[in-house]
Structure 1
């Protein structure tokens, strides 16, 4: 951004607003403030003037002359009885007062040390730009929602872990409201200190990090018991590998491929082995060493 006709705003020379929807602070760096310089602050913005690292004035939406007798900037330089160009470095920081959404995510553990992945969404707005600018650190010309998310994430992680580390896996979703209340309380207390108002906070995702455990929990949520849910997950994995025994795994019945049956060469197959013996076969088995029997079309002598 550059000064055009001594007007200082977030609109550049091409008419493009440099304050994007995900920007919290836009810095107008090294402003050459002259006698008739005018500061334009648009809606959903507040302008903070900082001179030599010290904040000297905050301006609401509207047009402001930076060197009028009642202006705090003019009063600052009047102490030095200096007119014309200002020899000090002047920064104008435009802070967004619109509502923004950020999402913090991470991994914590349950009471049984089961890794759980979470994601927390929170909606906020900057109410005190002076506190906010003095609290955060940024080296570029913009401070975005992504930067603020990284700044707040440790607070969210601590709040989630304080509750989740004390409950077991089967009690996680029953205590979801406790986790939400803990995160909301911690965030609100922290954000108030940096000049940010927390509008609302909610947990949008809380699930085991392991894919298999996550699917088992989902199957149990459909009403399946633990054993059936485990079989369903194993059947899913087998089906992905085109394993023909996937259906049997789901139903919980054995699977006997025909090519591995020991009765493949026996006439009648499995039916002949599983059918009860006839009276003749019983007499032959009790006849002694001179008896013979039929097996697979061959006569076998016993003697």
Structure 2
């Protein structure tokens, strides 16, 4: 097979970029890169050049001709045989410098062992050439890409531990009062972990809510200043109203409901005689 020089770039023939908004790293699919090929690095990328598993260089924005690191004698022979192009294979990995959004989800438990759903959106980026080298060194490729979801797979246990560290000792209805504390703890732990991979953490957005829908509605009613009993009555009244029951307002205020002069038992007084 003839070996020809080529332009190495992330741009596809139709002009679109192979690195989408959720792609952290991209391995150029053609390893038959020869000396004399032109490496193109876009303004929002880094590029890492490897040969036989060893990192040769990390490139910033620009265009760079690739030259062989062979010994002079051997290099002159091979380059003459291949018309100036060395046949040794290279591997090019592009690193995205743009800010990327990753998302982690999971289940935490409150002090009462009630289940809560948490969702963490965190913003990450690769800042320097040294960071790009860390990413290539410590995070393996499962294919041609390392995407935001793969980063989340690595960071998931750290996120879960940081969230549960506060949530597990906090009453269910008070969890949202500690959102700021949890977010700061999460940012510290997650930032330290991602730094190993050369990934910079910019910001963290955290959402925690009860897993059970009824529990979410009851806590919302409690937020209006209702007592636990009143919250249950109003919740029940809302469900009754959805079914068209005319006694729903009576349930809400705990008043009896009369049908033809007969008194119905008000909520909370089932063990007392009807007057």
Q: What TM-score range do you get, normalising by the shorter chain? A: 0.7 to 0.9
Residues of 2 paired with 1:120 and 1:144: CA distance?
17
Residues of 2 paired with 1:238 and 1:91: CA distance?
66
Residues of 2 paired with 1:34 and 1:137: CA distance?
24
Structure 2 unaligned segments of length 5 or more: list them: 80-84, 264-274
C-alpha distance after superposition, 1:190-221 (max 9, x if no partner) = 01111011111131x21111111111111122
Question: How far is the alpha carbon of 1:87 from its aligned partner?
Answer: 4.9
Q: After the TM superposition, which residues 247-258 of structure 1 pair with which residues of structure 2 at under 5 Å, given as runs? A: 247-258=249-260
Q: After the TM superposition, which residues 261-280 of structure 1 pair with which residues of structure 2 at under 5 Å, given as runs? A: 261=262
Residues of 2 paired with 1:245 and 1:80: CA distance?
97
Higher relative contact order, structure no. (Cα contacts within 8 Å, ≥ 6 residues apart): 2
- Name the SS for the 1:172 alignment partner: helix
The answer to which of 190-199 and 22-31 deviates more is 22-31
Partner of 1:12: 12
Question: How far is the alpha carbon of 1:230 from its aligned partner?
Answer: 1.5
User: Structure 1: which 4+ aligned runs deviate by more than 6 Å?
Assistant: none
- Equivalences, count: 252
Partner of 2:168: 165
- The TM-score with structure 1 as length reference comes to 0.76
Partner of 1:235: 237
Partner of residue 134 from structure 2, selected from 94, 108, 131: 131
Q: After the TM superposition, which residues 166-185 of structure 1 pair with which residues of structure 2 at under 5 Å, given as runs? A: 166-185=169-188
Mark the CA change 1:59 to 1:237 in structure 2 (over 3 Å): closer, same or farther: same
- The TM-score with structure 2 as length reference comes to 0.83
Structure 1 unaligned segments of length 5 or more: list them: 68-73, 263-273, 275-303
Residues of 2 paired with 1:261 and 1:221: CA distance?
36
Partner of 1:200: 203
Partner of 1:212: 214
Partner of 1:292: none
Residues of 2 paired with 1:78 and 1:245: CA distance?
93
Q: Who wins on radius of gyration, i.e. which is larger?
A: 1
Over aligned residue pairs, what C-alpha RMSD do you find?
A: 2.4
C-alpha distance after superposition, 1:135-169 (max 9, x if no partner) = 22332212222222222222111110111112222
